[in-house]
Amino acid sequence: MEKHKKQHIGLIFGGNSSEHDVSKRSAHNIYDAMDKERYDVSLFLMTKNGYFLDHEASSRVFDGEPEDEVAKQELAKLDLKNPLARIINLAEESDIDVFFPIIHGNLGEDGTIQGLLRLLHKPYVGTAILGSAMSFDKDITKKIVKLAGVPTTRYEVITPLTAEQYSYESLSDELGQTLFIKPANQGSSVGIHKVENAEEYSEGIRDAFRYDSKVLIEEAIEGPEELEISILGNDHPIASKIGAIRVPKDDAFYTYDNKFVDASQVKFDVPVDISEELAQQITEMGLTTYRALGLKGMARIDYLVSKDDKPYMSEVNTLPGFTNISLYPQLFAASGISYSELIDRLIQLAIDEFERQSKILYDFKPLPPRDQNINK
């Protein structure tokens, strides 16, 4: 890799998911935490309709100009009939050393942006294509970690084609009276519903299908405590201390509004006071999950802990939030790794993984062809 006095980082944010604005807040925090003596930073905003803006236009939005107006002006300059128009502005900065994508949700955490950066042959922060795709799909995640011995909640999967085969009555007989409905490929609690009767179930299913064609119906854990752990690393990951989320009593779960609109009633225990046995169990589950899914760079893993202190893996976030209240950086800060050091480590991990993969791809020497006639 060509050396620069400063490393040139391409910070990618925005996206066309429901977490667009959350991504912008994360990007601001990451940018502010970067040591400007070490890094030059170029900004690339992905608009809500999936086009990348160049650094100049992205900076205007970053500085507070209305995004819709800036995007309209910039898209008018592009040949929208060109299939590469969506990504053409990434070519502006060909000397970027490392891309730092912080697009939450679809296109950012599902392997899409990772595939693009792989094609560009550039290092990037976070997990590669397969690990991202598996972790983004809650159904696939649960299947993989269950094979690795990590306990998760029981659930059924329904699609528009199979929805008529399931009713609230049949599902509640199997999973319990209280059920959670979750789009399989969605983040930040979008489309999630807690239901306790047939009417709520029908309404929840209808809404969940707005966000995904695959929906999970999960059992509810009695009196759950929501705990989270942060993981950092590639082949030798480390785990943070464990934190807890305390939501208002009137809320059934940690909602989108709790996270990003009005978090004033939410309390975070960082680190949380739990037994050493439970902390060790969650840490081991987190590291096992991380390795089973082939994750790299970072992840935040969420758990539900029942009244009898039994933990269940709930969800994996491969590009967790970096907003002011996000637990991923908070948990590492409580573990002795500052926000700026965390960014430094993530960038170096991206370079390390890129170099490892490049060595495999370009130093590989195939075996000579085998003689097809074994009798000769």
Please give the annotated binding residues for Mg(2+), written as ranges: 302, 315, 317
Q: HEC states along 326-340?
A: CHHHHHHHHCCCCHH
> Which two structure tokens, joined as six digits, stand for 183?
């789009």
Out of 18, 188, 230, 240, the active site residue is 188
Out of 19, 67, 74, 219, the active site residue is 19
Out of 17, 219, 326, 353, the active site residue is 326
Contacts of 39 (CB under 8 A, 6+ apart): 6, 7, 8, 9, 347
- Alpha carbon distance 359, 361 (integer Å): 6
User: Is 19 in the active site?
Assistant: yes
Handedness of CA 20, 26, 30, 33 (dihedral sign): positive
- Alpha carbon distance 363, 77 (integer Å): 42
User: Is 188 in the active site?
Assistant: yes
- Alpha carbon distance 179, 158 (integer Å): 14
> Which two structure tokens, joined as six digits, stand for 289?
């999950």
- Alpha carbon distance 109, 112 (integer Å): 7
What are the residue numbers of the active site?
A: 19, 188, 326
